[in-house]
Structure 1
């Protein structure tokens, strides 16, 4: 690309500890010195993007900055033989959109080690309906089903209306599991049933369970997306040799537990880190998301917006007023 040509990006700027966003023309010369230049077709919105756009220094340290932890598009240039111009590719996780300029732009430039070939059976829009949230759900399912089979009993999914939770519910239901969706939003029962949940459990009900070290077994396994008391009580109500994955800490980063569930029942607690998940396992998850795990109504689970509409949607996300996945059409 010529050094004097530009592309459009959502740019977050800091001025006297105040943060503002606008669509800017950015020079290609400002891109990182990395191996793969990607012309972005779609991005998507995640809570981390909202935090970055609001100036949260725990997510993004330096500004000006372009958020967007997800991107899909076409390789424009590559100095790495693994990719060539014209390849359709996905980039999620790692440092994209955090301290590296992200996918809410017409172009991104990233290390080849971050790039995954777009599976044949997945459109670019579908890849961003999944995004990091769907990838994390897929990683959680991948680990859980190695330990717990459908006939073992019910599987709990906490934060079930969120991005990770909703995709987890849909995939598990498709794979034949009996899913108990845990939510704080009683009004979303119909939505969760449509996703495939067999039973709805209110967050307040599981939070109110007894404080004993072990509780009556309810679940054969679980995918937890929130942490805190909900995760504690899921673990305490998991059956012998059950497994629980955890990938979030919005409720709390702490767990107040004894070792009893792990020693007396042999429960496994499996951490899920989508940011640095090994590439071979990551690729397998994307292949499953494109084929055997793809929900029938995946395309109905999103709203599509333009780059100009992103900041308003991020503001709503910070207020907890966004339910469906939001895909951003860039190119």
Structure 2
């Protein structure tokens, strides 16, 4: 038997989450069984925990949790042996497939990544999908020519999970970070992560008719999308890039081609779900090397499985700061 947060739904009624004891034969198919130690909370998890399932959950009962870290308990794949420490993010785990909000998980070996030396399972989930996405965004910006001497880098939705890690990473790498937030109470938190300046969300929320404004930003990690992204595109420096990681402000993009054809701006889409294995390894190695662990610790909000329904509702309202780390054994 093992403990899990299971979401159940009867007929057309709302989905309801509860902590329950499950038998191991309830685990899904897969060739690696992992004793999960930590998971985390992402926006997608909030959707999966909601009464409607956010359009992500296909079948009930369901165990959410789109990422987890732990130790291999049993393996039918030669790449992993009992005792190996592993991390999983993406692959629709926690959405289509049962996820990490449990003391045990069974998955395909192809979905796992060995945990880098020097990174604990708790730290791995303080990073989680959000932090991996932030690292992939920073790597993409660097691959397209961004260096610290080019100028200020903008991070939108900076107090959220992706934004927090992106801010800390960029600052540690020597970039001048401008952090966008709509919550004035997060200013001290963001400056402690390394932000050089705070940009009120209202300064970028209003759309303008001009397709181009003054060249301001050398790069951007954008978690907001929508009208704010459209505004930011018109403020990018010549040849600069925007790494798009989210759509908290909406999926529509009310812009024109002008920033792209007159300033050579690059719009880089960042996907962490189906990311190739080699790039995942590269990102996790960079995280272990380049993410300051003291800053990571400052982002952590500890939680247990029983806390997740309330936290899931809070993250959908934009009320969660930093990174929620879930001890599934608490």
Structure 2-normalised TM-score?
Answer: 0.96
Counterpart residue number, 1:96: 93
Verify the 8 A CA contact 1:215 1:236 in the aligned structure 2.
Answer: yes
How many angstroms does 1:209 deviate by?
A: 5.3
Ranked by relative contact order (alpha carbons within 8 Å, sequence separation 6 or more), the top structure is 2
Verify the 8 A CA contact 2:91 2:274 in the aligned structure 1.
Answer: yes
Counterpart residue number, 2:5: 10
Instruction: List gaps (5 residues or longer) in structure 1.
Output: 1-5
Distance (whole Å) between structure 1 residues aligned to residue 194 and residue 243 of structure 2: 19
Change (3 A) 1:122 1:83: same
Distance (whole Å) between structure 2 residues aligned to residue 313 and residue 292 of structure 1: 29
Distance (whole Å) between structure 1 residues aligned to residue 293 and residue 72 of structure 2: 28
For residues 241-277 of structure 1, the C-alpha deviation after alignment (integer angstroms, 9 at most, x for no partner) is 1111001112111112221111111111100001111
Confirm whether residue 118 of structure 1 aligns to residue 115 of structure 2.
yes
Distance (whole Å) between structure 1 residues aligned to residue 281 and residue 293 of structure 2: 18
Counterpart residue number, 1:68: 65
Distance (whole Å) between structure 2 residues aligned to residue 59 and residue 51 of structure 1: 7
Q: Which moved more, 1:156-165 or 1:306-315?
A: 306-315
Counterpart residue number, 1:27: 23
Verify the 8 A CA contact 1:288 1:294 in the aligned structure 2.
Answer: no
Across the aligned residues of Structure 1 and Structure 2, the Cα RMSD in angstroms comes to 1.3
Confirm whether residue 42 of structure 1 aligns to residue 64 of structure 2.
no
Verify the 8 A CA contact 2:164 2:299 in the aligned structure 1.
Answer: no
Counterpart residue number, 2:171: 173
1:50-89 counterparts in 2 under 5 A? Answer: 50-54=46-50, 55-89=52-86
Distance (whole Å) between structure 2 residues aligned to residue 288 and residue 131 of structure 1: 14
Distance (whole Å) between structure 1 residues aligned to residue 87 and residue 295 of structure 2: 21
Runs (4+) of structure 1 exceeding 4 A deviation are none
Instruction: List gaps (5 residues or longer) in structure 2.
Output: none
Distance (whole Å) between structure 2 residues aligned to residue 24 and residue 190 of structure 1: 39
Q: Which moved more, 1:204-213 or 1:109-118?
A: 204-213
Counterpart residue number, 1:312: 310
Structure 2 counterpart SS, 1:214? coil
How many angstroms does 1:104 deviate by?
A: 0.4
How many angstroms does 1:293 deviate by?
A: 2.8
Distance (whole Å) between structure 2 residues aligned to residue 68 and residue 52 of structure 1: 8
Distance (whole Å) between structure 1 residues aligned to residue 296 and residue 190 of structure 2: 14
